Amino acid sequence: MASRAGTVVTMPCPVDPMLATPGPLPADEERWSFEPKWDGFRAIVHTGGRRLRVISRRGTDLAGRLPELEPLAGVLAAGTTLDGELVVLGTDGRVDFEGMRRRGFGQAARGRLVFVAFDVLASAGEDVLAQRWETRRRMLADLGLDGPAWCMTPSYPGEGRTLFEATRAEGLEGVVAKRLDAPYRSGVRTAAWVKTKHFDRQWFDVLGVAPTPEERYALVLGFRGAGGVRYAGRVEWGFTRAHFEELAARARPTDGSPFGDWAPRGSIFFEPGIVAEVRYLAGSLLRHATLRSLAFDQSSQLAEAKERGRQIARQAG
């Protein structure tokens, strides 16, 4: 985009999205507005006459895979560019990330696809990147985005902590704080946008390890109990070479899979007695997960009981 405010935007390839910095909620809430953080695919939507482009973070045009969005080209003026999130809403109204992942790869998925717009970068051919966020927000509201597969995200000036608790109760990923005076800085991770996610920590039984496409290994985690083994997910982040070497020295491999006939190709499974403490996105199947620590010669139930005991002791002290 090589144009300035007041000139017509020619955009053979839409701009790279502005990125938020991870961190706590800003203390000076009066300088910020707060939005739900949607757990989907980031997308830049651009209208060029009757044609709609839906560009992913990786630069792929997803428009042909998302026919629900085609009518949006007739709603927006030519030369309009929006930033937002593609989500799939399940029958319960909650965001279904796995459904969105399938749609992003051109596969079928249950649920309703929605483009949730949260910023406007060009309006009817005018570049508005340099405008304050609150000005762009008013321009976005003036577009009247209320359709069968598109809407505008809600925003709450000065209400960060209230929204943070509300998004936790609704099972959303977290909150994004946006400074009221912030311009849009394409391709930049900036402190003018701050994302705060909901995370849980829990102990899981280490069932084994499995190779990743990047030729690393990830821990395979689950729960062992009287009813058998229940799969919980995998974790790669935080699983270092030192952890791998410790497992190699102390873990006892088994010949079979705890899941019967099913096993990821190249996986190695262990006998019971190894547990992992993992930090992960609340309400998810180990998404955005990071290994915190490993422990040996105990079960996940015992590790969780010990952790609850420590928490009670801290509260009592």
Residues taking part in catalysis: 37
Q: What kind and span of H or E run contains 245?
A: helix 241-250
Instruction: Specify the long-range contacts of residues 224-233, CB closer than 8 Å, at least 24 apart.
Output: 224/258, 224/272, 224/299, 224/300, 225/301, 229/205, 229/258, 229/259, 231/207, 231/259, 232/204, 232/285, 232/286, 233/280, 233/285, 233/286, 233/287, 233/289
For residue 285, give both structure tokens: 């199947």
Distance (Å, whole) CA 63 – CA 148: 16
Q: Per-residue DSSP letters for 155-173? A: -EET-HHHHHHHHHHHT--
Burial class of residue 27 in the structure, from the number of CB atoms within 10 Å of its CB (0-12 exposed, 13-18 middle, 19+ buried): exposed
Q: Please choose, from the candidates 294, 179, 198, the residue with its C-alpha nearest in 3D space to the C-alpha of residue 243.
A: 294
Q: How far is CA 41 from CA 65, 105, 113, 184, in A?
A: 13, 11, 11, 19
Burial class of residue 74 in the structure, from the number of CB atoms within 10 Å of its CB (0-12 exposed, 13-18 middle, 19+ buried): exposed
